[in-house]
Amino acid sequence: MKILNFGSINIDYVYRVTHFVRPGETLAADERSVFPGGKGLNQSVSLGRCCGTERDIFHAGCIGRADADFIDALLRENRVSGMFVETCESVTGHTIIQVDENGQNCILLYSGANGAQSEAHIARVFRRFGAGDYLVLQNEISCVAYILEQAHAAGMKIFFNPSPYTADIRKLPLEYVDCFLLNEIEAGDLCGTHAADESVLLAKTAAAFPRAEIVLTLGKRGVVCKTDSAVYRYGTYDVPVVDTTAAGDTFTGYFIGCRALGMDAPAALKYASAASSLAVSQRGAVPSIPRMHRVRDFADSAAVPSFN
């Protein structure tokens, strides 16, 4: 079984600030750092650090020529193949990220090469995958509908993280998705119900997509997962919050990676939650994603968190 992540690749420009810039305000940053990032790349690194020694993982996408060697080396270092990453004349996608004193962030995204996917390239990629393989997909690249169609036609199991959420998402062939990984806002937008109670929100989302597994992240309150047979809940670990930038992508990569290793949903939630908690205690996106041996040590020794 192979894992294909068809996703974005960005360069993140991270500015540490006392507070987020307000309209009309000029604010001096305390520090600037440059990191590789993008939801797709973050999730590929998370997958690689989770299960790259035991599963074949591939990243597909588009980048600017100037960053090709750097990104290829980064993927290989994390046991991910970049053979399906195509270079183009557009600049690599990038973000401007503000991180405040509490570790919270706000992000300005420019798609760049992430918006340059072609159907010809996508079709070539999917010739190398088949029934039982995994597709991991987000919404930071172009041609998402075509990618879903190709993966479904190939018989792949589709994991979709509908982020960033746009109105066009509801026009996609979402009936092909086997597992949605989303936060409360995305779930509310997807099913048209912004309920305060996560049980109601989960039920509405599950009713809208009855054949799909639903993984609903709830921030500090934890995570809830509905499979075809049960609902599972898992809390968050008490760690110092330094930077939340890649927390969701770390969780997503680890949850999918653990399932690819044959773990059931409760075990995958445990290790994905632990990995996400470790990620927020470090700066940056890719640099903050922990490796599996550290996640296992932390999850197996820390107190089991309560679901809030």
Annotated binding site for substrate: 10-12, 38-42, 140, 249
Distance CA 216, CA 226 (A): 8
Distance CA 12, CA 34 (A): 6
DSSP 155-180: T-EEEE---S--GGGGGS-GGG-SEE
* The residue type at 249: D
Phi, psi at residue 54, to the nearest 5°?
-120, -10
Structure tokens at 49: 């650090």
Q: Active site residue: 67, 72, 133, 249, which one?
A: 249
Q: What residues pair up with 93 in beta bridges, in sequence order?
A: 10
Q: Is 249 a catalytic residue?
A: yes
Query: What's the burial of 212, exposed, middle or buried (CB within 10 Å: 0-12/13-18/19+)?
Result: buried
CA distances from 29 to 13, 47, 110, 176 (A): 12, 32, 20, 44
Which residues belong to the annotated binding site for K(+)?
Answer: 243, 245, 279, 282, 284, 288
Q: Are 61 and 93 in contact (CB under 8 A)?
A: no
Nearest to 274 by CA among 256, 244, 288, 294: 294
Distance CA 82, CA 76 (A): 7
Q: Are 79 and 55 in contact (CB under 8 A)?
A: no
Which residues belong to the annotated binding site?
Answer: 10-12, 38-42, 140, 183, 217-222, 243, 245, 248-249, 279, 282, 284, 288
Q: What residues pair up with 159 in beta bridges, in sequence order?
A: 136, 179
Percent helix, percent strand, percent coil in the chain, to nearest 5: 40, 25, 35
Active site residues: 249
